[in-house]
Amino acid sequence: MVKRICGVLVAVVAGVGWGVGNVANATTPPEPDPAPTFRLWAAVEGLELSRVACNVDTVTTCYGVDAAMVTHTATMNPDGTFTIVVPSVAPASTPAAPTTVAAIDPSSGVGTRQNPVPIGTAANLGDGWTLTINSVNLDATAEVAGGNMFNDQPPEGSVYVLINLTASYAGPDEKASPFLFMSGVTSSNVEIDGLDTFVVAPDPTFDSLGEVFAGGSTSGNTVLTVPAAELTSLVLYTSVGFGNNDVYFASQ
Protein backbone atom coordinates (compact mmCIF):
# COMPACT_ATOMS: atom_id res chain seq x y z
CA MET A 1 0.00 0.00 0.00
CA VAL A 2 2.84 2.29 0.82
CA LYS A 3 4.36 1.61 -2.52
CA ARG A 4 1.03 2.23 -4.16
CA ILE A 5 0.72 5.59 -2.42
CA CYS A 6 4.24 6.43 -3.30
CA GLY A 7 3.55 5.39 -6.83
CA VAL A 8 0.65 7.81 -6.92
CA LEU A 9 2.78 10.54 -5.43
CA VAL A 10 5.47 9.89 -7.99
CA ALA A 11 2.90 10.09 -10.75
CA VAL A 12 1.59 13.44 -9.44
CA VAL A 13 5.06 14.86 -9.14
CA ALA A 14 5.87 13.67 -12.61
CA GLY A 15 2.73 15.37 -13.88
CA VAL A 16 3.76 18.62 -12.26
CA GLY A 17 7.20 18.32 -13.72
CA TRP A 18 5.69 17.77 -17.16
CA GLY A 19 3.55 20.88 -16.79
CA VAL A 20 6.46 23.06 -15.74
CA GLY A 21 8.41 21.81 -18.66
CA ASN A 22 5.66 23.03 -20.99
CA VAL A 23 5.63 26.49 -19.39
CA ALA A 24 9.35 26.70 -19.73
CA ASN A 25 9.04 25.87 -23.42
CA ALA A 26 6.15 28.32 -24.09
CA THR A 27 6.47 31.17 -26.61
CA THR A 28 8.33 34.21 -25.25
CA PRO A 29 5.81 36.98 -24.36
CA PRO A 30 5.93 40.13 -26.51
CA GLU A 31 8.05 43.10 -25.54
CA PRO A 32 6.21 45.75 -23.45
CA ASP A 33 4.79 48.80 -25.25
CA PRO A 34 7.46 51.56 -25.20
CA ALA A 35 4.80 54.32 -25.41
CA PRO A 36 4.57 54.90 -21.61
CA THR A 37 8.38 55.11 -21.43
CA PHE A 38 8.40 57.64 -24.25
CA ARG A 39 5.69 59.73 -22.57
CA LEU A 40 7.62 59.72 -19.27
CA TRP A 41 10.93 60.58 -20.98
CA ALA A 42 9.27 63.41 -22.89
CA ALA A 43 7.81 64.85 -19.67
CA VAL A 44 11.29 64.90 -18.10
CA GLU A 45 12.49 66.73 -21.21
CA GLY A 46 9.71 69.30 -20.83
CA LEU A 47 7.37 67.93 -23.50
CA GLU A 48 3.80 67.21 -22.45
CA LEU A 49 2.60 64.83 -25.15
CA SER A 50 -0.75 63.28 -25.95
CA ARG A 51 -1.82 60.69 -28.52
CA VAL A 52 1.44 58.81 -27.98
CA ALA A 53 2.05 55.74 -30.14
CA CYS A 54 5.07 53.64 -31.12
CA ASN A 55 6.11 51.37 -33.97
CA VAL A 56 8.36 48.49 -32.90
CA ASP A 57 10.44 47.50 -35.91
CA THR A 58 14.17 47.36 -36.59
CA VAL A 59 14.26 50.75 -34.87
CA THR A 60 11.59 51.61 -32.31
CA THR A 61 9.98 54.92 -33.33
CA CYS A 62 7.49 56.83 -31.19
CA TYR A 63 5.19 59.74 -31.94
CA GLY A 64 3.39 62.27 -29.74
CA VAL A 65 1.45 65.50 -30.13
CA ASP A 66 2.02 68.51 -27.85
CA ALA A 67 -0.44 71.23 -26.78
CA ALA A 68 0.40 73.31 -29.86
CA MET A 69 -0.59 70.34 -32.07
CA VAL A 70 3.05 69.82 -33.14
CA THR A 71 3.92 66.17 -33.79
CA HIS A 72 7.21 65.03 -32.22
CA THR A 73 8.92 61.90 -33.59
CA ALA A 74 11.67 60.09 -31.68
CA THR A 75 13.70 56.91 -31.99
CA MET A 76 14.40 54.77 -28.92
CA ASN A 77 18.01 54.23 -27.82
CA PRO A 78 19.33 50.99 -26.25
CA ASP A 79 19.56 52.70 -22.83
CA GLY A 80 15.83 53.57 -22.85
CA THR A 81 16.27 57.22 -23.77
CA PHE A 82 14.98 58.75 -26.99
CA THR A 83 16.39 60.93 -29.75
CA ILE A 84 13.99 63.44 -31.29
CA VAL A 85 13.92 63.32 -35.07
CA VAL A 86 14.45 66.83 -36.42
CA PRO A 87 12.47 68.61 -37.57
CA SER A 88 9.27 67.93 -35.69
CA VAL A 89 6.21 68.19 -37.89
CA ALA A 90 4.29 71.42 -37.38
CA PRO A 91 0.54 71.48 -38.06
CA ALA A 92 -0.74 72.81 -41.36
CA SER A 93 -1.51 76.51 -41.28
CA THR A 94 -5.06 77.30 -40.29
CA PRO A 95 -7.07 78.72 -43.18
CA ALA A 96 -7.92 82.37 -42.77
CA ALA A 97 -11.45 83.05 -41.60
CA PRO A 98 -13.74 84.03 -44.44
CA THR A 99 -14.12 87.74 -44.90
CA THR A 100 -17.46 89.05 -43.75
CA VAL A 101 -19.53 90.11 -46.74
CA ALA A 102 -20.25 93.83 -46.66
CA ALA A 103 -23.87 94.88 -46.94
CA ILE A 104 -24.80 95.68 -50.49
CA ASP A 105 -25.13 99.41 -51.00
CA PRO A 106 -28.17 100.03 -53.22
CA SER A 107 -26.55 103.16 -54.58
CA SER A 108 -23.68 101.06 -55.96
CA GLY A 109 -26.01 99.14 -58.22
CA VAL A 110 -24.50 95.77 -57.18
CA GLY A 111 -27.18 93.15 -56.68
CA THR A 112 -29.68 94.83 -58.97
CA ARG A 113 -31.22 93.32 -62.07
CA GLN A 114 -28.95 95.50 -64.23
CA ASN A 115 -25.83 94.53 -62.26
CA PRO A 116 -26.45 91.15 -60.62
CA VAL A 117 -24.09 89.49 -58.15
CA PRO A 118 -21.67 87.20 -60.08
CA ILE A 119 -21.74 83.43 -59.71
CA GLY A 120 -19.48 82.35 -56.85
CA THR A 121 -19.72 85.69 -55.02
CA ALA A 122 -21.42 85.92 -51.63
CA ALA A 123 -24.01 88.64 -51.13
CA ASN A 124 -25.62 89.99 -47.99
CA LEU A 125 -29.38 89.34 -47.90
CA GLY A 126 -30.00 90.89 -44.49
CA ASP A 127 -31.00 89.40 -41.12
CA GLY A 128 -27.53 87.83 -40.84
CA TRP A 129 -27.82 85.81 -44.05
CA THR A 130 -25.44 85.70 -47.00
CA LEU A 131 -26.08 83.80 -50.21
CA THR A 132 -23.75 82.42 -52.86
CA ILE A 133 -24.86 80.98 -56.18
CA ASN A 134 -22.26 78.26 -56.65
CA SER A 135 -23.25 77.11 -60.11
CA VAL A 136 -26.05 77.29 -62.68
CA ASN A 137 -26.80 74.62 -65.27
CA LEU A 138 -28.94 76.32 -67.92
CA ASP A 139 -30.03 73.04 -69.51
CA ALA A 140 -30.41 70.42 -66.79
CA THR A 141 -33.58 68.92 -68.28
CA ALA A 142 -32.19 65.41 -68.64
CA GLU A 143 -30.62 65.45 -65.17
CA VAL A 144 -33.76 66.75 -63.44
CA ALA A 145 -36.31 64.69 -65.37
CA GLY A 146 -34.26 61.52 -64.96
CA GLY A 147 -33.38 62.15 -61.33
CA ASN A 148 -36.76 61.21 -59.88
CA MET A 149 -39.45 58.89 -61.19
CA PHE A 150 -42.12 61.48 -60.38
CA ASN A 151 -40.45 64.34 -62.27
CA ASP A 152 -42.14 65.16 -65.58
CA GLN A 153 -40.55 66.70 -68.64
CA PRO A 154 -40.79 70.52 -68.72
CA PRO A 155 -43.52 72.15 -70.82
CA GLU A 156 -42.90 72.31 -74.56
CA GLY A 157 -40.35 75.02 -75.34
CA SER A 158 -39.00 75.20 -71.76
CA VAL A 159 -36.02 73.71 -69.96
CA TYR A 160 -35.13 72.97 -66.38
CA VAL A 161 -32.44 75.25 -64.93
CA LEU A 162 -30.53 73.71 -62.01
CA ILE A 163 -29.14 76.13 -59.42
CA ASN A 164 -26.74 75.18 -56.62
CA LEU A 165 -26.60 77.68 -53.75
CA THR A 166 -25.21 78.14 -50.26
CA ALA A 167 -26.89 80.20 -47.54
CA SER A 168 -24.78 81.10 -44.50
CA TYR A 169 -26.04 82.49 -41.20
CA ALA A 170 -24.13 84.84 -38.88
CA GLY A 171 -27.00 86.65 -37.20
CA PRO A 172 -27.64 87.45 -33.54
CA ASP A 173 -29.91 84.47 -32.86
CA GLU A 174 -28.66 81.02 -31.93
CA LYS A 175 -30.27 79.58 -35.06
CA ALA A 176 -32.58 80.58 -37.89
CA SER A 177 -34.18 79.30 -41.09
CA PRO A 178 -33.26 80.98 -44.40
CA PHE A 179 -36.84 80.89 -45.67
CA LEU A 180 -35.72 81.88 -49.15
CA PHE A 181 -37.04 80.69 -52.48
CA MET A 182 -35.33 81.35 -55.78
CA SER A 183 -37.11 83.20 -58.57
CA GLY A 184 -36.03 84.37 -61.99
CA VAL A 185 -36.87 87.04 -64.52
CA THR A 186 -36.15 87.14 -68.26
CA SER A 187 -36.77 89.44 -71.20
CA SER A 188 -40.49 88.74 -70.83
CA ASN A 189 -40.41 90.73 -67.55
CA VAL A 190 -42.58 88.18 -65.76
CA GLU A 191 -41.54 86.40 -62.55
CA ILE A 192 -40.50 82.78 -62.89
CA ASP A 193 -41.43 81.47 -59.46
CA GLY A 194 -39.49 78.48 -58.20
CA LEU A 195 -42.56 77.31 -56.30
CA ASP A 196 -44.31 76.82 -59.65
CA THR A 197 -41.80 74.15 -60.69
CA PHE A 198 -43.28 70.89 -59.44
CA VAL A 199 -40.21 68.65 -59.56
CA VAL A 200 -37.83 67.24 -56.99
CA ALA A 201 -34.40 68.82 -57.35
CA PRO A 202 -31.45 66.41 -57.54
CA ASP A 203 -29.73 65.67 -54.25
CA PRO A 204 -28.78 67.54 -52.27
CA THR A 205 -32.00 69.56 -52.42
CA PHE A 206 -31.81 73.03 -50.87
CA ASP A 207 -33.77 73.17 -47.60
CA SER A 208 -35.33 76.61 -47.25
CA LEU A 209 -36.98 75.79 -43.92
CA GLY A 210 -34.19 73.89 -42.15
CA GLU A 211 -32.57 75.60 -39.19
CA VAL A 212 -28.96 76.79 -39.41
CA PHE A 213 -26.99 77.63 -36.27
CA ALA A 214 -24.98 80.85 -36.15
CA GLY A 215 -21.71 80.34 -38.02
CA GLY A 216 -23.15 77.52 -40.13
CA SER A 217 -24.40 77.19 -43.68
CA THR A 218 -26.70 75.06 -45.79
CA SER A 219 -26.22 74.14 -49.44
CA GLY A 220 -28.26 72.40 -52.10
CA ASN A 221 -30.02 72.48 -55.45
CA THR A 222 -33.20 74.14 -56.63
CA VAL A 223 -34.89 74.19 -60.05
CA LEU A 224 -36.58 76.79 -62.24
CA THR A 225 -38.61 76.13 -65.40
CA VAL A 226 -37.47 78.68 -68.00
CA PRO A 227 -38.50 79.22 -71.65
CA ALA A 228 -35.56 78.04 -73.74
CA ALA A 229 -35.69 81.15 -75.95
CA GLU A 230 -35.22 83.40 -72.90
CA LEU A 231 -32.27 81.67 -71.21
CA THR A 232 -29.72 84.27 -72.24
CA SER A 233 -31.65 87.00 -70.42
CA LEU A 234 -32.29 85.02 -67.22
CA VAL A 235 -31.46 86.79 -63.95
CA LEU A 236 -32.06 85.12 -60.59
CA TYR A 237 -33.33 86.87 -57.49
CA THR A 238 -34.48 86.15 -53.94
CA SER A 239 -34.84 87.64 -50.46
CA VAL A 240 -34.90 86.26 -46.90
CA GLY A 241 -37.60 86.60 -44.29
CA PHE A 242 -40.14 89.36 -44.61
CA GLY A 243 -39.55 92.97 -45.56
CA ASN A 244 -36.07 92.51 -47.05
CA ASN A 245 -35.36 93.72 -50.57
CA ASP A 246 -34.72 91.30 -53.43
CA VAL A 247 -31.09 90.73 -54.39
CA TYR A 248 -30.34 89.74 -58.01
CA PHE A 249 -27.80 87.13 -59.10
CA ALA A 250 -26.30 86.32 -62.49
CA SER A 251 -27.18 82.99 -64.11
CA GLN A 252 -24.08 82.73 -66.30
Per-residue pLDDT of the chain (252 residues; tens, 9 = 90+): 444 444 444 343 334 344 444 444 545 555 677 888 888 888 888 888 877 778 776 778 887 877 766 777 888 888 888 888 754 444 444 444 444 445 555 456 779 999 999 999 999 998 999 999 999 999 999 999 888 888 899 999 999 999 999 999 999 999 999 999 999 999 999 999 988 888 989 999 999 999 999 999 999 999 999 999 999 999 999 998 777 889 999 999
Q: Look at residue 8 in the predicted model and tell me its pLDDT.
A: 40
- Judge if 76 and 110 occupy the same domain: no
Distance between CA 227 and CA 237 in Å, rounded?
Answer: 17
- Judge if 57 and 168 occupy the same domain: no
In a domain, 229, yes or no: yes
In a domain, 9, yes or no: no
- Judge if 147 and 201 occupy the same domain: yes
- Judge if 164 and 123 occupy the same domain: yes
In a domain, 27, yes or no: no
Q: Look at residue 67 in the predicted model and tell me its pLDDT.
A: 72
- Judge if 147 and 218 occupy the same domain: yes
Q: Look at residue 70 in the predicted model and tell me its pLDDT.
A: 74
Total domains in the chain come to: 2
Q: Look at residue 103 in the predicted model and tell me its pLDDT.
A: 53
- 3-class DSSP assignment, residue 195: helix
For residue 49, the enclosing domain spans 35-89
pTM over 0.85: no
In a domain, 133, yes or no: yes
